[in-house]
Amino acid sequence: MSSYILVMSTNQNWHGTTIVLIRKGNQTIVAGDGQVSLGNTVLKSKAKKVRKIEKRNVIAGFAGSTADALTLFERLEAKLEKHAGNLTRAAVELAKDWRTDKYLRRLEALMAVADKEKSFIISGTGDVLEPEDGIIGIGSGGNYALAAAKVLMDSEMSAEEIAKKSLKVASEICVFTNGNVTTEKV
């Protein structure tokens, strides 16, 4: 837990995070920036917003409140265990719980998750969306990173290079995104 910061406040809004997920060739990468902001204040610049579930070879990135995202990550891990590593089933079950559970539906986050074969965005509204082109961008700079990644997919760059370059572009546009990048791959 030392690489995460948890702040409880009802007076200010959480902003920030850019997560990009890239599938290219046989590579799947999730990358995230390191900035944690509360209102207009940067609280931390090197947070880790991407994680890997080693046992199931699943990677995830999350945007939103840190405590909420960690709760959802733990729930995803439990769903993967329950469904023998089937990411599709685990994602759908997590989304159902997130939408219908009295406690979970108050959580404010988005998740980008992937294994060797599938990628999904999971939201609290019950959505489990699989991208058509193997690219996901979420968070305040998500659309900037997504646009950059779409352009770079036709290049000779690897998935990891595209993810890092996309986050660099987002960090130059979105004030809630920085250039401290963490990546995970499957």
pLDDT beyond 50 at 1: no
Catalytic residue among 17, 18, 66, 177: 17
Task: Examine residue 59 and state whether it is found in any structural domain, yes or no.
Answer: yes
pLDDT tens figures, 22-52: 999 999 999 999 998 888 889 899 999 999 9
> Greater confidence, 106 or 96?
96
Task: Examine residue 77 and state whether it is found in any structural domain, yes or no.
Answer: yes
Residues 99/125, Cβ–Cβ less than 8 Å: yes
**pLDDT the model gives residue 10:** 37
Task: Examine residue 51 and state whether it is found in any structural domain, yes or no.
Answer: yes
Task: Examine residue 32 and state whether it is found in any structural domain, yes or no.
Answer: yes
pLDDT beyond 60 at 9: no
Per-residue tokens: 18: 């850019």
Task: Examine residue 8 and state whether it is found in any structural domain, yes or no.
Answer: no
Mean pLDDT of all residues in 52-80: 90
Task: Examine residue 7 and state whether it is found in any structural domain, yes or no.
Answer: no
DSSP string, 98-147: HHH-TTGGG--EEEEEE-SS-EEEEETTS-EE--SSSEEEEETTHHHHHH
- Concerning whether 100 is annotated as a catalytic residue, the answer is no
Residue 147 domain boundaries:
14-185
pLDDT beyond 90 at 89: yes
Q: Which residues pair with 52 in a beta bridge?
A: 59
CATH of the domain at 166: 3.60.20.10
User: Alpha-carbon distance 150 to 56, whole Å?
Assistant: 28
- Residue 98 CA from chain centroid, whole number: 16
How much is the pTM? Answer: 0.88
Classify residue 127 as exposed, middle or buried by CB count within 10 Å of its CB (0-12, 13-18, 19+). Answer: middle
Question: How many structural domains are present in the chain?
Answer: 1
